[in-house]
A and B are shown apart, each in its own frame.
Chain A
Amino acid sequence: MPFLTGLYAFLFYFAALVLVFGLTYKVVQYSRTPAPLKIPTTPAPTTGTGVVLRMTREVVLFESLFRGNKWTWIFGWLFHFGLFLVTLRHLRYFFNPVPAVIEFIQPFGIYAGFAMVVGLVGLWARRFLVDRVRYISRPADHLMLALLLLIAASGLLMSFLLHTDIVSVKTFFLGLYHFDLRPLPADPVLLLHLAMVAVLMIIFPYSKLLHAPGLFFSPTRNQVDDPRERRLLAPWASRLERP
């Protein structure tokens, strides 16, 4: 077994563990922390169905961001929608046989890669061009965009110029399911692409990427506006009720 294959196998096992456990930990932490008061940003839905709709609009359309800033919305949405399609497209490396839906979106996935890059470049440009956004940007914010851009660019490079042996790549990943290490092609671009993806998985639960699960737990967005009808009482607050 070549050294590289072993290294990457280890890297991906490690990254997958960190991602799954780290994210589970955060999600459990969020769901166990009570929201003791009704604080939806109003006007807010008065029913559970309404909240599901509001949340769906936030996740799919970035509704609030649309009201907040059109440029960030355009670039942000391009990037995320691109990322979403690209991720779906990549599922073909992890399933055998490949599900029909995934088969279907393959051609769109390519364009999605470009959308991602355009979005990321736009978002990064704002970090330099808009003084307010420049002021709030930390090194981590720039590095995050650099990381994603590197992933997207190396991916597109392999799609269009420096093709790699994707059959072997798929064999490598399917092999990981059974702890059966199959050789990974030693193309530098592929290795860079995969290493960066592993880094992304590792930092996910420890960085601002927590915005993805966070949105679902945001009380200003996920609460039903019914405080006069239903009494909300957090466990720690109910202890105050006893004299």
Chain B
Amino acid sequence: MAKATFEVPVLSQYPDVPAVTPGTMAGSAPFLSKPDFQAPLGFPGELVENWQERAIEKMGELLTRYRSLRVYLDACVKCGACTDKCHYFLGTKDPKNMPVGRQDLMRKVYRRYFTPAGRLFPNLVGAQDLTREVLDEWYSYFHQCSQCRRCSVFCPYGIDTAEISMAAREIMDCIGVGQKYCNEIIGKVYKVGNNLGLPGPALIDTLEGLEEDVFDDTGVHVRYPIDQVGAEILMVTPSADFFAEPHVDGLIGYGKVFHEAGVSWTFSSYASEAANFGMFIGSYENMRRISQRIREEAIRLKVKRIVFGECGHAWRVGYSFLNTLAGPWDFLDPRYPVPQHICEFTHDLILQGRLTFDKGQNDDKVLTYHDSCNVARASRMGDTPGGQFEIPRAIIRATCNHFYDMDEETIRDRTFCCGGGGGLLTDDLIELRVKGAKPRMEALNNVMQEKGVTHMAAICAICKSQFTKVLPFYGMEMDQIVSLHQLVSNAIVLTPGADDGDEDEDDDDATDSAPTPGDEDEDAAD
């Protein structure tokens, strides 16, 4: 069991709603950003002098930009339906982690400055000035929301606390109070091309190494191309896929699927990152700028299709926002949606009978599946609503003999966040991450006990990194979390190409030296 300096929640068999315990997480806050990390994003380096005025002004601007924010700040009736839905409340007992408790941190300021009732009767309606204490509270609790949208499922008006967290983070960024983890990473994307700061040559080396490994393993030449002009498909994947376990096993799987499909495809070293942390910080401008890289590369590499790898929030940005942020995509092949998810791609091939699997290869595992929030509640796969639940499960069933779902209350659109989403996957928030994982760990533990489940598959780089880190806190093994396409990779029966079978003629040994990206791997994950 991993050592903790805080109390790790005890898992119970039945989900229980804790008694409200104010202030348990009041001290939780991520590291502040530094001027160097703020500047590339267009934000002031440190708290500006007239911050209060600037913050209210920014809030006013966002109220005219986002209908969601305006309506949601007005509409809440305090019915309480959302109060027991947030994994952070369930794991920490802190009432400011109840979705409505979190919203109220902004609502009280909204009421004070933007509504007649709050100007005239602040105490009656719970309105409050934006003081330094309130700002600190914002920084703390708006960084205890993984923007998972579970609350929006149950709210009678669909109030989505994620919208409010995003707005709060943008307001804070605009007065110079940024979060280090997210903003530093966005800077790396601008400078190097991906969250991990992996430069092009390192990616090329890594991919060459993978080709060798796969060949040694299977005797088939599977290609992992990068920057190939004229390829049919541009593959955009979270950068964790390039090297970290279990992510890279999924990436190996993508290549094998493309190999079987017989299409040409390529990664891009410039757009070598599907993740888009611009969403986490609620900045439309940054989210757009990050998305534009994909457009530029699609044009430069003259591809006809775009496929996204396994990444939850990237898929939200890809599926729901990419057309808005970087479209229109009229120069791509109109027969395919833009972008496509790798699961949609693989699933189509399965339906067409073009993939052969030896399911026995996964017989050492009994699987369950974790629906990642952004895939489950903020996007779709396939043609029908809910395809995002059915397609990944269909792939697991096609590739594994043993699969059991977790409790219905904790999957599909009611899925619990892994605890590390929304820009919180950083060591300075480890207590929050461990506690926030409790509801998911509970459901997992129950299927482990009842069905003998050994592994949980996921299609999100954040989920995978988060589970790798927190499973040991709950007495489980870090490698119990696997990539979905790792299962595909294990079971797929490869067709030898024309150049396979004869002796391998290009005997290069460049691959031993694939660079290790050092200590980055923790906060790296997309």
- Which of B67, B376, B388 contacts A35, CB < 8 Å? B67
**Closest residue of A by beta carbon distance from B125:** A140
> B65 to A236, Cβ gap below 8 A?
yes
Given the known interface contacts A69-B81, A140-B126, the answer about A221 and B157 at a Cβ–Cβ threshold of 8 Å is yes
Q: Which of A35-49 contact B (CB under 8 A)?
A: 35-39, 41-46
Which listed segment binds B: A148-156, A166-174, A180-188, A206-214?
A206-214
A137 to B83, CA, bound (A): 12
**Closest residue of A by beta carbon distance from B387:** A43
Given the known interface contacts A67-B154, A214-B157, the answer about A131 and B327 at a Cβ–Cβ threshold of 8 Å is no
Q: A233 to chain B: which residues have CB within 8 Å? A: 324
> A208 to B78, Cβ gap below 8 A?
yes
Q: B78 to chain A: which residues have CB within 8 Å? A: 133, 136-138, 141, 208
Q: B319 to chain A: which residues have CB within 8 Å? A: 227-228
Q: B63 to chain A: which residues have CB within 8 Å? A: 33
Given the known interface contacts A33-B64, A132-B95, the answer about A215 and B115 at a Cβ–Cβ threshold of 8 Å is no
Query: B156 within 8 Å of A by Cβ?
Result: yes
> A45 to B385, Cβ gap below 8 A?
yes
Given the known interface contacts A136-B98, A136-B101, A225-B380, the answer about A206 and B67 at a Cβ–Cβ threshold of 8 Å is no
A219 to B64, CA, bound (A): 15
**Closest residue of B by beta carbon distance from A62:** B156
> A69 to B413, Cβ gap below 8 A?
no
A29 to B114, CA, bound (A): 13
Query: A94 within 8 Å of B by Cβ?
Result: no
> B79 to A65, Cβ gap below 8 A?
yes
**Closest residue of A by beta carbon distance from B339:** A228
Q: A8 to chain B: which residues have CB within 8 Å? A: none
**Closest residue of B by beta carbon distance from A58:** B156
A234 to B284, CA, bound (A): 11
Query: B68 within 8 Å of A by Cβ?
Result: yes
Query: B249 within 8 Å of A by Cβ?
Result: no
Chain A's nearest CB lies how many Å from the CB of B448?
27
Given the known interface contacts A68-B154, A69-B81, the answer about A217 and B67 at a Cβ–Cβ threshold of 8 Å is yes
Contact with B along A189-218 (1 / 0, CB 8 A): 000000000000001001110110011011
> B66 to A69, Cβ gap below 8 A?
no
Q: B126 to chain A: which residues have CB within 8 Å? A: 138, 140
Query: A72 within 8 Å of B by Cβ?
Result: yes
Given the known interface contacts A33-B66, A69-B81, A136-B101, the answer about A215 and B157 at a Cβ–Cβ threshold of 8 Å is yes
Given the known interface contacts A30-B70, A34-B67, A211-B77, the answer about A237 and B155 at a Cβ–Cβ threshold of 8 Å is no
- Which of B152, B339, B413 contacts A43, CB < 8 Å? B413
Query: B15 within 8 Å of A by Cβ?
Result: no
**Closest residue of A by beta carbon distance from B117:** A206
Chain A's nearest CB lies how many Å from the CB of B122?
10
Interface size band for B: 35 or more
Q: A140 to chain B: which residues have CB within 8 Å? A: 117, 121, 124-126
**Closest residue of B by beta carbon distance from A67:** B154
Query: A130 within 8 Å of B by Cβ?
Result: yes
Query: B4 within 8 Å of A by Cβ?
Result: no
A225 to B320, CA, bound (A): 8
A34 to B284, CA, bound (A): 14
Contact with B along A45-63 (1 / 0, CB 8 A): 1100000000000100010
**Closest residue of A by beta carbon distance from B150:** A41
A211 to B76, CA, bound (A): 7
> B74 to A139, Cβ gap below 8 A?
no
> A211 to B95, Cβ gap below 8 A?
no
> B323 to A206, Cβ gap below 8 A?
no
Given the known interface contacts A64-B156, A69-B154, A214-B74, the answer about A37 and B320 at a Cβ–Cβ threshold of 8 Å is yes
> B65 to A42, Cβ gap below 8 A?
no
> B67 to A41, Cβ gap below 8 A?
no
Q: A139 to chain B: which residues have CB within 8 Å? A: 123-125
Query: A220 within 8 Å of B by Cβ?
Result: yes
> A211 to B82, Cβ gap below 8 A?
no
Query: B345 within 8 Å of A by Cβ?
Result: no
- Which of A30, A42, A220 contacts B385, CB < 8 Å? A42
* Interface size in chain A (residues, C-beta < 8 A): 65
Contact with A along B367-406 (1 / 0, CB 8 A): 0000000001111100111101100000000000000000
Query: B158 within 8 Å of A by Cβ?
Result: yes
Q: A131 to chain B: which residues have CB within 8 Å? A: 19-20
Query: B233 within 8 Å of A by Cβ?
Result: no
> B115 to A206, Cβ gap below 8 A?
yes
Query: A143 within 8 Å of B by Cβ?
Result: yes
Given the known interface contacts A38-B320, A214-B71, A227-B323, the answer about A68 and B66 at a Cβ–Cβ threshold of 8 Å is no
> B379 to A42, Cβ gap below 8 A?
yes
A139 to B116, CA, bound (A): 16
Query: A92 within 8 Å of B by Cβ?
Result: no
Chain A's nearest CB lies how many Å from the CB of B296?
13
**Closest residue of A by beta carbon distance from B279:** A37
Q: B284 to chain A: which residues have CB within 8 Å? A: 36-37, 237, 240
Given the known interface contacts A34-B67, A138-B126, A221-B158, the answer about A132 and B337 at a Cβ–Cβ threshold of 8 Å is no
A44 to B376, CA, bound (A): 11
Contact with A along B288-326 (1 / 0, CB 8 A): 100000000000000000000000000000011101100
Q: A143 to chain B: which residues have CB within 8 Å? A: 124
Query: B100 within 8 Å of A by Cβ?
Result: yes
> A36 to B83, Cβ gap below 8 A?
no
Q: A138 to chain B: which residues have CB within 8 Å? A: 78, 124-126
Query: A109 within 8 Å of B by Cβ?
Result: no
Query: A113 within 8 Å of B by Cβ?
Result: no
A234 to B156, CA, bound (A): 26
> B104 to A136, Cβ gap below 8 A?
yes
Chain B's nearest CB lies how many Å from the CB of A8?
24
> A220 to B95, Cβ gap below 8 A?
no
A234 to B76, CA, bound (A): 25
Given the known interface contacts A43-B386, A64-B158, A208-B78, the answer about A219 and B285 at a Cβ–Cβ threshold of 8 Å is no
- Which of A37, A123, A207 contacts B321, CB < 8 Å? A37
Q: B496 to chain A: which residues have CB within 8 Å? A: none
> A39 to B160, Cβ gap below 8 A?
yes
A69 to B17, CA, bound (A): 13
- Which of A30, A43, A69, A135 contacts B95, CB < 8 Å? A135
Query: A17 within 8 Å of B by Cβ?
Result: no
Given the known interface contacts A35-B66, A35-B67, A215-B156, the answer about A208 and B285 at a Cβ–Cβ threshold of 8 Å is no
**Closest residue of A by beta carbon distance from B386:** A43
Given the known interface contacts A35-B68, A72-B79, A210-B75, the answer about A220 and B158 at a Cβ–Cβ threshold of 8 Å is yes
22 sampled A-B residue pairs with Cβ under 8 A: A29-B70, A30-B67, A33-B65, A33-B67, A37-B324, A38-B320, A43-B386, A43-B388, A46-B383, A62-B156, A64-B158, A65-B79, A68-B85, A68-B154, A137-B78, A140-B124, A214-B71, A218-B157, A227-B319, A231-B327, A237-B288, A240-B288
Which 4 residue pairs across A and B have the least CB separation, nearest first? A68-B154, A214-B75, A68-B81, A220-B158
